[in-house]
A = this chain, B = another copy of it.
Amino acid sequence: MEWHIIGIAASFLTTFGFVPQIIKMRRTKSAKDVSLATLLQFGAGAILWALYGVYLGDLIIITANIIASITIFAAIALCYHYNRKHGLSSR
């Protein structure tokens, strides 16, 4: 049973991992130092992890990574928006 608590805690931390980054970008209205490549890599990774969760039949992995990809795509949109606004490259 306690293993499931570890899985749920792990999924909670990484699922909402980019939430502080989203809050920071919105607060400072800047994403100059944020790597868009990192966000894109995590976005693609989360989608593949969700698929791998289907193979494992593990609902925690599936749910965590579907929600994660939604927050990551929000972060990608914000990062792209602020860098475009400031005429910066997003690499």
Q: Which residues of A approach B to under 8 Å, CB–CB?
A: 3, 6-7, 9-14, 16-21, 23-25, 28, 30-35, 37-38, 41-42, 44-46, 48-49, 51-52, 55-56, 58, 60, 91
Contact = CB atoms under 8 A, between A and B. Distances in A.
Number of copies of this chain that the complex holds: 2
17 contacts: A3-B52, A6-B52, A6-B55, A7-B48, A7-B52, A7-B55, A10-B45, A10-B48, A10-B49, A14-B46, A17-B45, A20-B38, A23-B35, A24-B37, A28-B33, A33-B34, A56-B58
B16 A41 contact: yes
B21 A38 contact: yes
A16 B44 CA distance: 12
